Amino acid sequence: SGSSRLTQKYFIAMSLFVAAILTKSVTATLPAALLVIVWWSRGKLSWERDVVPLAPWFAVSIGAGLVTAWVERRYIGAMGSDFSLSLIERCLIAGRAIIFYLGKLLWPLNLIFIYPRWTVSARVWWQYLYPTAVIALMVSAWLVRRWARGPLAVLLLFTGSLFPALGFFNVYPFVYSFVAGHFQYLASLAFFGWIAAVAHGRWQTPIGIAAIGVLGTLTWFQSAMYRNSETLYRATIVRNPDCWMAYNNLGFVISGEGRVSEAGALYQQALKIKPDYAEAHNNLG
């Protein structure tokens, strides 16, 4: 019957969702994303039809999120002075990160392996401009939702998918930087879907070809940075001179080639930036 087929499809979908979450916990945002997509499509949500069936999915997401947060703290090392941030400071990071990712998505230039780590302070007035801008975007999208649901849906999908990496939870890469290009891979799908939805008719193919051409060219040039480890870390140092991790890792790479004195200078530079960097002390000997 039709009901049994729907039930079967539901459990298949949930099984795939669980498999995805076991692969990468960032997919925990899927249940919320599905509700946003349904609202985007229909303009409303039904409690029984839309929300209740996703309750088990939300339970799995919450469980996966808690386990991931525990693993990050207990086994990976996402704790200590680098993560001693107040709630206000975490909100400042979140607002700035959202604006940062929007900027890189709309204008993907000056991409770096490790971006500079921001100095966050609740006493610096201009840092509040970032969360204020995010709130303004959300309010503007909310006000036009009756005529165009797309902007609000895209912003909700984008920020919701980014939420695990916005600074409210400790993740180890924050030791190096509060942002990373790969954090927004999943979130960027919201904008691509929106563009595909609005770019219809005779303009769809030309816009698609132009986008592929431009992005493909940028990717080609960007890929040269990843030719080998030495190239990557040298490029990172050029664009982010305070990246102590890049100095240390570059030193480790070239020390394996017998360039010991050059490696020692790099370790010393890493320690000049971060005096308590145990790995650089160990490598220096």
The residue from 50, 76, 102 where one domain ends is 76
Could you give the C-alpha distances from 3 to 6, 45, 73, 247, in angstroms and in order? Answer: 5, 21, 44, 61
Those residues of the chain that have pLDDT short of 70 are: 1-2
The residue from 76, 96, 129 where one domain ends is 76
| Domain-embedded: residue 205 | no
Q: Output the pLDDT for position 31.
A: 96
- Tell me: do 186 and 137 sit in the same domain: yes
Domain limits at 255?
A: 227-284
- Tell me: do 42 and 104 sit in the same domain: no
Place of tokens 């090392």: 77
| Domain-embedded: residue 204 | no
- Tell me: do 131 and 160 sit in the same domain: yes
| Domain-embedded: residue 202 | no
Distance CA 107, CA 213 (A): 15
What is the pTM assigned to this prediction? Answer: 0.90
Distance CA 275, CA 270 (A): 8
- Tell me: do 67 and 112 sit in the same domain: no
- Tell me: do 72 and 92 sit in the same domain: no
Q: Output the pLDDT for position 1.
A: 64
- Tell me: do 1 and 100 sit in the same domain: no
- Tell me: do 33 and 104 sit in the same domain: no
The residue from 44, 76, 108 where one domain ends is 76
Distance CA 143, CA 155 (A): 13
| Domain-embedded: residue 158 | yes
